[in-house]
């Protein structure tokens, strides 16, 4: 049976392959096709080669990084200790939920965009693009079931027809799921990690809804940390400028516009999450920290390539938006 030392040793080997600051500096000097060739030399080799004959440039990299993330998560579950496996599976359920939300929005909008361009190729959604296209919105909604979860997601959303309401209920069900799995662990660091993740999510929601003039009674149903004193204090503030300053004080984030502030909050969330890799050398938080680090790498690569594709060549402009480990 796999144990924590074995699992953490394998994770440490994976962590060593992640891009560091010097690698990002080199990528920033390259054009998109040069970046894909560089990626082919390392951990993304299989995925670049898989799609290389059909795609190039940004499209090639987008597909390769999504598949690489899926392959990484699948492998992590395989090498996990038996007690960690269900927890890692539950934590990575965020990608399933994100996929379902994107699929439902795609279905409702009758978009012409190819599904492969908007969803992660995660194995747990066992539907082909053709099957998804053939199912109705309601039939797709009924597919949102996670048998290994202590939370009944279907019961949460079955009476909702509004997509916004379904998305809200899925997010709250996942928050409940995260707290449930955190309570089943002996890791104080993991519990703190979960609460920080959920708090930062709520702070961004409060910022956006306060800006649009919603009151407490309208904001509270959207939150997952409504009992947190920091959240309560924020909700009590009526002046939007004071809300912004309080959020900056809580997170250390900066930004002139709401979009800049939200991006900075996300950077702070990821930076805080990455610290979990170093606090428990043989604990669950090391593995979850690696998953976050892999997410960071994927998003950094996506950001660099999109910036290059849209003509933003100023390295410092791109670099300031990266999360560096």
User: Given a cut of 70, is residue 100 above it in pLDDT?
Assistant: yes
For residue 257, tell me if it sits in a domain.
yes
pLDDT value of residue 188: 80
What CA–CA distance (Å, rounded) separates 213 from 100? 30
Q: Which residues contact 259 (CB under 8 A, 6 or more apart)?
A: none
- Count of domains observed in the chain: 1
Q: At 132, list the tokens.
A: 């998804």
Q: Which domain range does residue 268 map to?
A: 188-279
User: Given a cut of 80, is residue 15 above it in pLDDT?
Assistant: yes
How many C-beta atoms surround the C-beta of residue 146 within 10 A?
Answer: 19
Q: Which residue has the higher pLDDT, 93 or 313?
A: 93
Q: At 69, list the tokens.
A: 């993330």
Q: Which of 154-163, 187-196, 202-211 has the lowest mean pLDDT?
A: 187-196
For residue 220, tell me if it sits in a domain.
yes
- Cβ(286)–Cβ(277) below 8 Å: yes
For residue 56, tell me if it sits in a domain.
no
Average pLDDT over all residues of the chain: 87
Q: At 38, list the tokens.
A: 């560089």
Q: What is the mean pLDDT of residues 115-138?
A: 80
For residue 269, tell me if it sits in a domain.
yes
What CA–CA distance (Å, rounded) separates 195 from 212? 26
Q: Which of 55-64, 177-186, 208-217, 221-230 has the lowest mean pLDDT?
A: 177-186
Model-level pTM greater than 0.75? yes
User: Given a cut of 80, is residue 36 above it in pLDDT?
Assistant: yes
Q: Kindly state the percentage of the chain with pLDDT values over 70.
A: 95
User: Given a cut of 50, is residue 10 above it in pLDDT?
Assistant: yes
Note the Cα 46 to chain centre separation in Å. Answer: 23
pLDDT value of residue 181: 85
Q: Which residue has the higher pLDDT, 181 or 281?
A: 181
Q: Which of 88-102, 118-132, 155-169 has the lowest mean pLDDT?
A: 118-132
For residue 266, tell me if it sits in a domain.
yes
Q: Which of 14-23, 97-106, 108-117, 282-291 has the lowest mean pLDDT?
A: 282-291
Q: Which of 50-54, 58-62, 67-71, 78-82 has the lowest mean pLDDT?
A: 78-82
pLDDT value of residue 1: 43
For residue 67, tell me if it sits in a domain.
no
- The pLDDT confidence band at residue 247, using thresholds 50, 70 and 90, is very high
Q: Which of 19-33, 226-240, 258-272, 296-310 has the lowest mean pLDDT?
A: 258-272
Q: Which of 66-70, 125-129, 191-195 has the lowest mean pLDDT?
A: 125-129
Question: What does 18-86 look like in DSSP terms, one character per residue?
Answer: S--HHHHHHHHTS-HHHHHHHHHTTTTHHHHHHHTTT--HHHHHHHHHHHHHHHHHHHHHHHS-TTTHH
For residue 267, tell me if it sits in a domain.
yes
- Cβ(305)–Cβ(61) below 8 Å: yes
Q: Which residues contact 89 (CB under 8 A, 6 or more apart)?
A: 77, 148
User: Given a cut of 90, is residue 12 above it in pLDDT?
Assistant: no
For residue 214, tell me if it sits in a domain.
yes
């Amino acid at each position: 049976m796999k144990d924590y030392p074995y699992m953490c040793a394998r994770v440490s080997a994976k962590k060593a392959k992640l891009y560091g600051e010097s690698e990002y500096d080199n990528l920033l000097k390259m054009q998109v096709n040069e970046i894909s060739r560089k990626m082919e030399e390392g951990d993304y080799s299989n995925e670049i080669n898989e799609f290389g004959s059909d795609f190039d440039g940004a499209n090639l990299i987008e597909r390769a990084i999504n598949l690489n993330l899926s392959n990484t998560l699948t492998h992590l579950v395989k090498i996990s200790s038996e007690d960690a496996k269900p927890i890692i599976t539950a934590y990575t359920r965020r990608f399933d939920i994100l996929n379902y939300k994107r699929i439902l929005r795609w279905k409702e909008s009758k978009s012409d965009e190819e599904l492969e361009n908007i969803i992660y190729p995660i194995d747990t959604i066992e539907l082909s693009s053709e099957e998804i296209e053939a199912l109705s919105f309601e039939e797709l909604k009924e597919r949102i079931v996670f048998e290994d979860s202590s939370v009944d997601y279907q019961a949460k959303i079955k009476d909702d027809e509004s997509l916004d309401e379904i998305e809200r209920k899925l997010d709250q069900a996942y928050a409940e799921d995260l707290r449930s799995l955190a309570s089943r662990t002996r890791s104080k660091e993991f519990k703190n990690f979960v609460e920080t993740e959920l708090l930062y999510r709520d702070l961004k929601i409060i910022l956006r809804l306060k800006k649009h003039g919603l009151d407490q009674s309208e904001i509270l149903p959207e939150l997952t940390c409504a009992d947190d004193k920091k959240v309560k204090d924020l909700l009590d503030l009526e002046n939007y400028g004071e809300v912004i300053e309080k959020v900056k004080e809580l997170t250390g984030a900066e930004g002139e516009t709401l979009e800049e502030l939200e991006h900075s909050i996300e950077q702070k969330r990821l930076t805080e999450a990455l610290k979990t890799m170093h606090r428990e050398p043989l604990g669950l938080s090391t593995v979850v920290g690696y998953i976050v680090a892999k997410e960071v790498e994927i998003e950094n690569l996506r950001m660099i390539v999109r910036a290059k594709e849209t003509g933003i060549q100023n390295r410092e402009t791109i670099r300031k938006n990266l999360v560096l480990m």
